Each structure stands twice: as structure tokens, then as C-alpha cells.
Chain A
Amino acid sequence: MNRVVITGIGVYSCIGQNVDEVRDSLFKGKSGIGFDAIRKEMGFRSALTGILPVPNLKDKLHRRFRNSMPEEAEYAFLATDEALKMAKIDDAFLDNNIVGILYGNDSTARAVIEGVDVMRQKKDTTLMGSGSIFQSMNSTITMNLSTIFRLKGINFTVSGACASGSHSIGMGYFLIKHGMQETVICGGGQEVNPYSMGAFDGISAFSVRENQPTKASRPFDKNRDGLVPSGGAATVILESYENAVKRGATILGEVIGYGFSSNGGHISQPSVEGSARSLKMSLKDAGISVKDVDYINAHATSTPIGDMFEARAIHEVFGDAKCPVTSTKSMTGHECWMAGASEIVYSLLMMQNSFVAPNINFETPDEDSAKLNIVSKTIEKNIDVFLSNSFGFGGTNSSLIVKKVK
């Protein structure tokens, strides 16, 4: 069995457009949430969203690449470019080694809608343009990045709802651990446009605290009223420990545990039993006990039901261990398909810089969150091991454990 380490991270999110900006925002407890007026015109219950600019890649990529890329692929390109540079993986390495990609994504709403709009209006498919098909497929991120970076290894998209990004890292870990790949680009991307979130808004999942955007995402707080959608992309470069040492790469952390489960129940309602099984499996895979975990990055999205179930699951598994718990979604909103990957990046930044980022807006505990050690202000703390949860619609659960390599 190979040890699996992280040698590069990159991120493009509403709390920063690179690792340094994001680290500072996490430390300061800065919210990236704002009000998007166009959503009200479109009939949204809530116009709250993570606010981030769509990048202009004209100077970075040939038009033929850009033509096939929806916004989520553009975010993923920037995050991956940053991560590869951090990992010191250059063009020569990519050309001479088998590097794979497993990236989380679960929608391409804008590309599909805009393409179909042209077809309906013009009654012609050619006029949809050549980029529409490549932008519209759910595997758009992996098909674009594998082309741009000339990747020759494993190459597919992981669609596991809001656990997509986490499962992508889990699957990359599995392949490297078992010797089937040496290096895999993992991550998650999430489009931020209103088209992608209308139906989610329609089931009353979003916070309507529109008069206080930065207060709206309040995981575990008694007065939470829903999540705030967000997006961007985050990339994690996984490779075998042996390979990383051989080429002198800086090792940022080691993935030591992956747990997963399916609730086998309701399509949107989580389950304590299913979540707890994922947590326990990751701990067993890592070969550690709950006392060894220094920080838990919770999935908690700020919905009344979801946070309650997760608080109960964490308490069931961790008991009174009082491990610090925060949900960085209090700052970022719910980055959905990206979240499982971005939260590994956020937690790694905390581990590297010895602090726990706050669960902002956690003001009043409820019956379940009161049983956890939820940190509402930044604390300085050495983190040797962290655990990150991700849960998604359909009852898909993923838990990852990362350890500092000394």
C-alpha cells in the first residue's frame, strides 16, 4: 500500500481568488456572501449568494480552450494552475509522467440553458456553436482540464451531489494507495450563476435573511434559516509519498482516511446513522481514534435539519471528546459540488498556519450543537490531524482524514 500525500493546493472562491487571500479571509472570519439583485428579478425567494468574479482567461488560454469552458471549468483551471505550481509540476513533468484527474462536478446549468435557448429561438442546432456540447456535459471540467494540461492518467468526473469534491479526493487516494496511479489532480468545481440554483431555491433551502447577507449563513446556530449557495473551484494534488519525496516536493499533508456511505433513505433528508457510518469508516481506515483528531471541518450548511443531523452524528461518534468543530460554510456559503475539495484546502491552510477558522455567526447553540465544541472566534491551535465531512442529496456521505507529515 502506498502512502498518499498532498503536494499542491489551489482555490478560487468568494473569500479569495488564491491560497494566500483565502488563508487571510479564514483567519479573519471574513464572509464572502452578498446580494445578487438579478435573482429577485428571476423570482428567487432569496437573492443571497457567494460573490466572485468570472475570470478572464484571454491572456492565459487559447480561444479554442476557452470556447469549451463554462465558468466552473474556468474556476477549476485557475485553482489547478495554482495547485500544480505549488506542487512544482511543470509542463515537462506533465508530458513525461502519467498524471490523472478526478474532479467533482454535478451541473452545467448555464451552458445547457443557453444552448437550448439558441436552438429554440433559431430552430437550428449548428447555431448553438461548437463549444456548447463541451460546456454542457457534466464532465466538462475533467474534459477541459485533461486537454489543457495534456493528462494521460485516470480521467473522469465524480458526481456525488454536495460530496462530489470530497469523493474525488477519496477516489484519488484509493487509486494511489493501491498503486494504480502515481499522481492525480483532484478537486471540485461549482458554477455560481442563478440558472444553476433556481430549483434549489425553489425547495426553500436557502436563507432569506437578505437584509444581513454576511449573517445569513450561520451553521449550527439556533436561528439559522437555510443555506447560502456559492461556488468556485478548489484543487488538491495527490501523489504517492515515494514519488513526492523522490522529486523533492513539499508535502502539505497526508490523506490517511476515507470513509463513505449511503443513507438508503430520503432524497434530501440526511441521517444520523448514515453520516456516522461514514465518519467511523474514515477513522477505521486511518487507524486512529477520535482522540487523535484535532479539528473537524463540518459539512453543516446552515439548514435547520441538516445541521441537526450532523451535530448528532458527530456527537454519536466523538462523544464528549470536545474536538473543535467549525463549518467554514459560515463564511463561504455552500460551495456544493466544490465544497468537499475546498474544505480540505481550508483545513490544510489552518493546519499549516496553526489556527482554527471560526464558525462565524454561531451565537446561540441549539440542543444538538450545544453538545459540540463549536468555535465561533479564530483560535490558535496546532492541528496534526483533521477530519472533513461532506454529505449530499440522495444520502451520499464522505469523510476524509488528513494528517500533518513531520
Chain B
Amino acid sequence: MYALPFDENRCLNCQGADCLVKCQYIEIDRDRAREEMVRIARGEDSPVLRECVTCYGCEEYCPMGNHPFYLIAEKQEALGIPPVPGPLVRRAVNLGLPFRGEPQIREINGPVLNMAAFSELTPLIQGKLFEGLPVISTDGRKMFHYFCQLMYLHYAKSSVIKERLPGVIATIMRHRPTEVICFHDECYGTYTSYCPGVGIDVPFTPVHFFEYLYNRLSELKDLIRPVGLKVVYQRPCSSRLSPGKHRFVNKIFRLIGADEVEREFVDENALCCGGTIQGQRKEGSRKRSAAIQRKNIEDMKKAGAEICVFNCPACLQTLGGMVAREGIRPVYMSDLCRLAIGETPSGWR
């Protein structure tokens, strides 16, 4: 069975214990941080397991190449202390069950864009940026066959990921892709971080969506007219699994002439959208989530943002209405890119 080979010696030798010291949601000093991580690695209970908001941040902060968040999620499951109440866990586990028959398989033998569990967003995939690019998982009734399952880290259900993910990879492989461009970067994180972490083989080359957009925009650079909008970026939790690709946000903004305004909660210091925090068991989670959201949006406003650019549909679902009520327009990155090459995204006024 797939297992996470966590090396506690790396934690013992870690000087900074950044995984927890940098955590925006847990107050802890360096010595205790190191101690708690070692306790967790040894399968002992730790307040960290109960305090963790599952923001994925520690995966990025860890300088030792360990996987602190994957470890936390595994130990939460092993010790029976999920961060959310049992009914939410069961609901989430059932959510990913395919129930509308088998997907239609078309052999591609080339690069493919995987919409995964966001088939309903297929209308975003329009225009010159995506010309000639085959797309899979476009049927909302079948999309859970392509669902990367990593969401279950929020529910302390690593076992579900390990059980289902090989089947999902096998389904994707039936299309015979060479490269799989991941619409959602949680999928990208799954295939480039989680799978190697626990020993699941990925027989295709995953490509980050923003890297694809950047490369495609570069090909179309003669069409680009600077958008000249003041933008902020809502970084999703899953981006922490592929920090090396986060640079494409900045590169795209520069390429399309978007003015990324300076703000406090950006890059490593980005705040969670609050979607997973609001339902957690810890007392006051709903209010805590709302406070984080307020802090985040106030920061956007203070920076003078006109546009909040989203990567993750779940973040947009959680924060989109709130930023809009504050006069900041929520936009998917791909739509902003389309605007830059003279196309009009649907609904754009």
C-alpha cells in the first residue's frame, strides 16, 4: 500500500522549524514547533493536529523536503481527530463517488487539458488560448472519474486518496495523453507532489495551467494589449504544493500589463479563502473564517485593487461574492488573459 516515508530526522536537524513557525493560524515558537512535529511523526497526539486549519502552507514553508502537511493529515486520520465534524467527512467522501456511468474515452495521443471535477467550467476554455487543445472531463455527470481526490486532505482522509487515485490516473491514461494540463492546480499538486510523496506512479507529464497560459500568451504576444487593471491574486491552498509554479502568476501579470498592486497577504503570506475553515470543529471556526476573509478583502481594498484574480473555483465560490460587494471584480486568470488578447470573456462588461 502507498505510504508517506516521513523522515523525522530532517525535522530534528531543522534549524528554523518554518513549517509551524511561519504558520499564519498557529502561534508557536521554534523549539516547540520542532518538538511537536517530531511527536506527530512518532504517531503521538499534538495540539497541532487539532489547531491545523488545513491551509497546506507548511508544505511550502518546509525547507527540508519533508511533507509536514501530508503527515498531519495522515496522523489526524490515524488518531481519529479529523478537523471537521464526522457528517462533513462522510458527505465529502460520498461527493467524489462517480454515479452516472462510465466516461466516454477518446484517445488523444498528445497534450490534453483535464477539467477534472470542474466540468461545469468548460465554457471558460474558449478562444485562441485554447485553440486545438483537446479537453477531457467536460461532462459534469462523469467528472468524478477525473477528480484528483486531494481535497480529502482537508478531511483527514488520506486513505480515500490512496484508494481512489490510482483508478483516476488509469482513467486519464485511457485517453493516451502525453502531457496533462491541469485546469486546477490541486490536480497539478497531486501529480507532482502528493503522488511522488506517497509512491503513486504518474505515467504522464503534468503541466500547470498557469504555465500553459503563460506559454500560450507568449506565442500570441503580438495580440496582447496591456489590460492596465489593478489586480490582486487570491492564492489557493493547493498552490502551496507547487510553489515553483507560483511565479507564473507574476509572469502572466507582467506579460499582459496587469498592475499587481502591493499588498500584505501575498505569496507565502497569502491568506486562505476560509472555505474549509468555516466548518471546522474547533470552537469559533465560522467567525474565525469570516474574520480572515474580512482581513483579506480589506487588504485588497487598501491596495486599491480593481480585480481579484482567482485560480481555484472553490476560492471564487467562497470569496467571489464578497469581493464583488466591495467593488472588486472576481475574475478567473484565464478570462483576464483572454481580455488581454482582445477577446471578451462571457459575462464581461
| Co-complex (A, B) | no
Binding site for B on A (CB under 8 A): none
Give the interface of B toward A (CB within 8 A).
none
